[in-house]
Amino acid sequence: MRSHDPEKMSVTPLESFPPIDQWDDWMEYDAGAWPKKVERRSMLVPTTCFNCEAACGLMAYVDRETLTVTRLEGNPHHPGSRGKNCAKGPATINQINDPQRILYPLKRVGPRGSGRFERTTWDEVLDVFATKIRQALNEGRKTEVMYHVGRPGEDGYMLRVLQSWGVDGHNSHTNVCSSAARLGYALWSGSDRPSPDHANAKFMLLLSSHLETGHYFIPHAQRIVEGKKKGAKLCVIDVRLSNTASRADYWLAPWPGTEALLLLAMARVILVEDLYDAAFLEQWVNWRQFLAAKCPDAEPTFDRFIVELKKHYAFATPEAAAKECGVEAETIVEIAREIGRAGSAFASHVWRNAAAGNLGGWQVARCLQFVAVLVGAVGVRGGTNLHSVNKFVPAPFSIPPPPEVWNDLLYPPEYPLAHHELSFLLPHFLEEGRGKIAAYFTRVYNPVWTNPDGMLWERVLKDEAKIELHAALTPVWSETAQYADYVLPMGNAAERHDLMSQETHAAKWISFRQPVLRVARQRLGHDVDLTYQANPGEVWEENEFWIELSWRIDPDGSLGVRAFYESPYRAGEKITIDEYYRWIFENSVPGLPEEAAQQGLSPLDYMRKYGAFLVEKEVYQGHLTPLGSEQMEKAETQADGTIVKGGQAIGVVAGCVPRVGFETPSRRLEIYSPTMADWGWPEHTLPGYIESHIHRKHLDRDRGEYVLIPTFRLPTLIHTRSANAKWLYELSNTNPIWVHPEDARRLGVETTDLVRITTRIGHFVNKVWVTEGMRPGVLACSHHLGRWRLFDDAGTERWASAKVSCDEIEPGVFRFRRVEGIKPFVSRDPDTRRIWWTDGGVHQNLIFPVQPDPVSGMHCWHQRVTIEPARPDDQYGDVQVDTTQSIEIYREWLDLTRPAPGPEGLRRPRWFDRVVRPVAEAYRMQRT
Ligand code: SF4
């Protein structure tokens, strides 16, 4: 029975949670033994969820007798999630006990893609990759080692590994996810993510569905509810009636791709009705640069700036927006006035949604931030902070130097302003002969399924001349892993170490992911040197894998790699994972050593016990941080208050104090972007509206053309990561096409009827769901479902995937057809015999051509499609794709780019960051 004594509660007042002093030996009665009273005793070990990016706290219950994890709940000590989780958090137990999971390292024994693997040893894996990488480094091929990550789930560890090898080899999934929104935010402030303070807001505007999904789902959802309880109003902009929209005070469903104009119309109302925060704008916006560029003859005063700004946005009337967006003009005005009344207590967010769907989607984020800047809601209580102010990444004991090379496969010259690597174009670049890869690691990354043009991924992954050696680091089978040379089982949330922080609210925190069975054994006094000794089978954790691999790449230290893996406590000896985190917790987390000491614990033991630490609360206004005397040494202050040192602005005087300002070249919020002008996009120097590739004028309604929104998340699944959780698939196992009743009538279809959806490169066949929760003329389909496998014993999990055949029916044209749906099967988990669902959904991404935005590099997900009732030969789940046509479309989009070099012969503006940032000289195209 649980304690309900409030005096013994944990620091977060959950209704009920075991008191801390019983975490090592917590007794409860076995529910399965009822009505007998059978005691079960557990240890409570905290860790961090790994099923989405929010990094919520989890608490594992480890049975003291069997040393198995019996369940996972929320960790009340976690500052972001405060003891709460979504369905995916507790479902981690399914992932631990998954009878289909890969428990040992596997080596391919047939041709790539044949599905034939055999068990191998970690020793062999490490030697094979160490030899290959050492050879590449010795031969100066430092762009041929690539680590391609889907969900990082950690901060900084892997960047350090790649830097220690001296390679420019970090690739990510960000350009199929968030790089458009990131660019929009970064152009304003240099910080690429919003950190809204929902709990203290008076008005919240979301282009997202944070009450059910999104960055950062559970931490945000609870604070949105908190804000609403305190009287804040919520507006949701989404073509789909999401759960979040259903709880909003205002739900706007504009025509997809017009969101930027809708936001500009709100901005215009705020300007015209003088609802803006003049003092904030005058101090912090680069209005002088705006005037100098746009009206060089104008008197350089703030009043004149406002006049000119009103003139510039005169086109964005509510009436014009109403016509373009399909939203009532009065509603736009009403919402703008609400925002004006909320003033700086205006919290807002866009991440994927419209930013990820449209050509020019980065302007959606930029226009949203424009509204926030106008009302002074930047970095203040109740407003929208910069992520860089709230996210806290502590430094490790040593940092390797930046790489000296530039990898054009990651940042090609056509996309100098791309916010992240052009990851989804990698196969196209390899096909064009732009390079090859000697050693390729995919990690929690499934591009064959997740990315557009998946058949091109399949082609290059099978080509041993283009990718010589490929290891899939994954806790679960995937459509991509089946093409790898080695499939390496890595731990899930309860089986590995990582350190994470997210900008979930106005605070800084860290969360420690840890292998709970290893920690439990150590609490009992067992010796465990490496995590795999406590994990199921031979499941490793990546932290230890990279240490071991790096050590073998450079066994004698001659390459300069090994030094970064030597213990900071035992000179010349290999670092242990305890030592890596011990050093960080002792030296890089302010307040942690003191807090730990108060409890008689070492900092590492504190983190092992509580799993998270609040570094700072009530974090606001990072831009007001004063510059220190050392920073001000040899600095000059210009007439406009800009503080310059060594030819670069380092801050701004505000309130007579020198302050750091924002992370832009001007140290101000840049409404006018000189960077856009300098890099060949003078028409986009200001927040503006770019007509999307799926704009109505591009649609032929007589041909039955519609827009397909293929991006929305379900609350219960996460991309291709959650196929190993049976509970989640029992909850969500189909992804029908959302169709408005008017469109359904026009098409002559009803719910469950089959339709054929056709893009420019292929078609799929899916069911419809007729719903009024959809804007007429627009279709939607969730992107999580539609997993497939070619084999029974390799490929995606059987409770999550249909078995399919894949045939080349014409040269370059492939057809996937279902061989069998999901059905019960025999395993050590009796539940697999009780599987009742058969569907699993339809894979849509295969028929999407690549559509890279020429500025941000973001894949523009929304599709122009035709929809028709299924044809006589069509079968549910059919997918057909023409790879010749997909390459044509790649070239069409490539033609939209305006390639580097930019000023000074650079590949990319120097102030634009990169995940692994090479030396400054590498930014230059023609190097001296
Ligand atoms: S929101 Fe859900 S899936 Fe994401 S970290 Fe939190 S519990 Fe895990």
pLDDT tens digits, 502-549 = 999 999 999 999 999 999 999 999 999 999 999 999 999 999 999 999
The arithmetic mean of pLDDT across residues 735-764, rounded, is 98
Per-residue pLDDT of 46-82, as tens digits, reads 999 999 999 999 999 999 999 999 999 999 999 999 9
The finding on whether 612 has its CB within 6 A of some atom of ligand 1 is: no
Q: Which pLDDT value is given to residue 149? A: 96
Q: Is the peptide bond before 196 cis (omega within 30 degrees of 0)?
A: no
Ligand 1 site, residue 49, Cβ cutoff 6 A: yes
The CA distances from residue 503 to 393, 396, 419, 482, in Å, are: 11, 20, 19, 35
What distance in Å separates the CA atoms of residue 597 and residue 606, rounded to the nearest whole number? 9
**Above 50 in pLDDT, residue 5?**
no
Reading the block at residue 71, the tokens are 């369940």
User: 424 and 452 in contact (C-beta within 8 Å)?
Assistant: yes
In 695-786, where do the E strands start and end? Answer: 705-709, 737-739, 754-758, 762-770, 778-780
Report the half-sphere exposure of 17 (CA within 13 A, side-chain side).
24
Q: Are 182 and 366 in contact (CB under 8 A)?
A: no
Q: Report percent pLDDT > 90 for the chain.
A: 94
User: Which of 558, 688, 591 minimizes the C-alpha distance to 268?
Assistant: 688
Q: Tell me, in angstroms, the distance from the centre of ligand 1 to residue 214's CA.
A: 10
Residue 476 scores a pLDDT above 90: no
- pLDDT tens by residue, 863-902: 999 999 999 999 999 999 999 999 999 999 999 999 999 9
Largest CA distance in the chain: 88
pLDDT tens digits, one per residue of 83-139: 999 999 999 999 999 999 999 999 999 999 999 999 999 999 999 999 999 999 999
684: nearest Cα among 185, 187, 307: 187
Q: Are strands 657-659 and 648-654 parallel, antiparallel or unpaired?
A: antiparallel
Report how far residue 231's alpha carbon sits from residue 223's, in angstroms, rounded to the nearest whole number: 12
Q: How far is the CA of 86 from the centre of ligand 1 (A)?
A: 6
CB under 8 Å to 919, separation ≥6 — which residues? 401, 402, 403, 404
Residue 267 tokens, joined: 């901005």
Task: Read off the tokens for 879.
Answer: 């997918």
The pLDDT of 224-253, averaged and rounded, is: 97
In the predicted model, what is the mean pLDDT of residues 252-260?
97
* Residue 2: predicted pLDDT: 38
Distance 125 CA to ligand 1 centre (A): 32
Q: 3 pLDDT exceeds 60?
A: no
Virtual CA dihedral for 681, 685, 688, 691, nearest 10 degrees? 0
Q: What is the mean pLDDT of residues 243-250?
A: 96
Q: What is the pLDDT of residue 927?
A: 60
CA distance 237 to 534: 47
Residue nearest atom 6 in ligand 1 by C-alpha distance: 56
Residues 639-650 have pLDDT tens digits of 999 999 999 999
Query: How far apart are the C-alpha atoms of 431 and 52, rounded to whole Å?
Result: 32
Helix (H) or strand (E) holding 472: strand 467-474
201 Cα to the center of ligand 1, angstroms? 23
Confidence at residue 12, expressed as pLDDT on a 0 to 100 scale: 53
- Distance in Å, CA 671 to ligand 1 centroid: 35
The CB of 217 under 6 Å from ligand 1? The reply is yes
Angle, helices 542-553/157-165, rounded to nearest 10 degrees:
10
Gyration radius from the chain CA atoms: 27
Residue 101 token pair: 């999971």
The alpha carbon of 721 and the centre of ligand 1 are apart by a number of angstroms equal to: 12
Mutating to test ligand 1, I would choose from 71, 75, 85 the residue with most ligand atoms within 8 A of its C-beta, which is 85
Question: Can you tell me the mean pLDDT for 441-452?
Answer: 96
Residue of the CA atom closest to atom 2 of ligand 1: 86
Provide mean pLDDT across the span 696-719.
92
Beta bridge partners of 626: 659
Residue range 761-794, pLDDT digits in tens: 999 999 999 999 999 999 999 988 999 999 987 7
Q: For residue 217, which atom of ligand 1 is closest to its CA?
A: 1
Instruction: Give the C-alpha separation, 423 to 176, whole Å.
Output: 8
Strand (E) or helix (H) holding 804: strand 801-810
CA–centroid distance, residue 353 to ligand 1 (Å): 19
SS3 at position 224: helix
Res 119: pLDDT? 98
Counting from 1 in the atom list of ligand 1, the atom nearest the Cα of 718 is 3
Pocket test for ligand 1, best of 49, 223, 498 (most atoms within 8 A of CB): 49
User: How many Å apart are CA 72 and CA 497, to the nearest integer?
Assistant: 17
268 Cβ inside 6 Å of ligand 1: no
Residue the block writes with tokens 């005005």: 333
Distances in Å between the Cα of 355 and the Cα atoms of 287, 366, 767 are: 26, 10, 27
Task: Give the strand pairing for 57-63 and 39-48.
Answer: antiparallel
Indicate the length of the chain as a whole number: 928
- The pLDDT of 265-288, averaged and rounded, is 98
**Separation between Cα atoms, residue 223 and residue 349, nearest integer Å:** 13
Whether 86 is in the pocket of ligand 1, judged by its Cβ within 6 Å, is yes
- Residue 179 CA, ligand 1 centroid: distance in Å: 21
Contact by Cβ (8 Å): 62, 520? yes
**What integer pLDDT is reported at residue 794 of this predicted model?**
78
pLDDT of residue 13: 55
Backbone dihedral region for residue 667 (phi beyond 0: left; psi -120 to 50: alpha; all else: beta)? left
Q: Is the CB of 89 under 6 A from ligand 1?
A: yes
pLDDT averaged over the chain? 96
Strand arrangement of the beta sheet that strand 26-29 belongs to: 26-29, 39-48, 57-63, 69-74
Dihedral Cα 832, 835, 838, 840, nearest 10 deg = -60
DSSP-assigned letters across all residues of 832-888: GGG----------GGGPPP-B-TTT--B---EEEEEEEPPTT--TT-EEEEHHHHHH
Q: What's the whole-model pTM score?
A: 0.96
Calculate how far, in angstroms, residue 215's C-alpha sits from the geometric centre of ligand 1: 10
Q: 829: Cβ–Cβ under 8 A, 6 or more apart, which residues?
A: 97, 98, 99, 726
**Residue owning the nearest CA to atom 4 of ligand 1:** 52
Q: Write the CB contacts of 740 (distance below 8 Å, at least 6 apart in sequence).
A: 770, 771, 772, 774, 775, 776, 777, 778
Ligand 1 atom closest to residue 85's alpha carbon, by position in its atom list: 7
pLDDT score for 8: 36
Distance, in Å, from the CA atom of 486 to the CA atom of 551, rounded to the nearest integer, reads 20
Q: What is the pLDDT of residues 318-328, one digit of tens each?
A: 999 999 999 99
Ligand 1 atom closest to residue 74's alpha carbon, by position in its atom list = 7
Q: What CA–CA distance (Å, rounded) separates 259 from 208?
A: 12
Is the CB of 56 inside a 6 Å radius of any atom of ligand 1? yes
715 Cα to the center of ligand 1, angstroms:
10
